Amino acid sequence: MAAAACRPAPTSGARQPAPDFALQTPAGKTLKLADLRGKVVLIDFWATYCGPCKDSVPELERLYRDKKAEGFEVLGISEDSFVDAVPPFLAEHKMTYTVLLDLEQAAGEAYALRGLPQAFLLDREGRILDRWFGWEPGNAAAMRAAVERALKAP
């Protein structure tokens, strides 16, 4: 999948509620998005075969480690069809944030994915603040700034 600029998509003035989901981790634990209310959440849809996704992981990992103590969570949602591909990827890339499996692409469909990677930043009430399509390394700073603004918001 070709890399596209990582820019927030235009939004209508009102913040849209993020579609809820219940997905499993590779270890079989179920997590619902609603369980994270009260935290700022970055949802990153990715796949092991996606080159730009691989490029984004170190930046997302760094952002997660820097901000998790402030009430920030990253959910990496794998759009891979084969669960066996995910654990080696997690180990290789030293991912410590929560990874969920969307084996039937139901969450991806609910978020109307247009490609991978695609990320959504949610406020503490579960509303979509920003969206990014694709990944370019220079965009990590813009994503970090958006997360910091969300964490400071009342």
- Would residue 70 count as lying in a domain? yes
Domain of 52, in residue numbers = 39-152
Give the mean pLDDT of 135-143.
87
pTM of the model: 0.90
- Would residue 120 count as lying in a domain? yes
Over residues 74-129, the pLDDT tens digits come to: 999 999 998 899 999 999 999 999 999 999 999 999 999 999 999 999 999 999 99
Neighbour order of strands in the sheet with 22-24: 30-32, 22-24, 98-101, 72-78, 40-46, 118-122, 128-133
Over residues 26-54, the pLDDT tens digits come to: 999 999 999 999 999 999 999 999 999 99
User: Could you write out the DSSP letters of every residue in 67-83?
Assistant: HGGGTEEEEEEE--S-G
- Closest to 33 measured CA to CA, from 87, 136, 110, 130: 110
- Would residue 94 count as lying in a domain? yes
Number of domains in the chain: 1
Instruction: Kindly report the CATH number assigned to the domain that includes residue 77.
Output: 3.40.30.10
- Would residue 64 count as lying in a domain? yes
Distance CA 130, CA 8 (A): 5
Burial of 53 (0-12, 13-18, 19+ CB in 10 A): buried
- Would residue 118 count as lying in a domain? yes
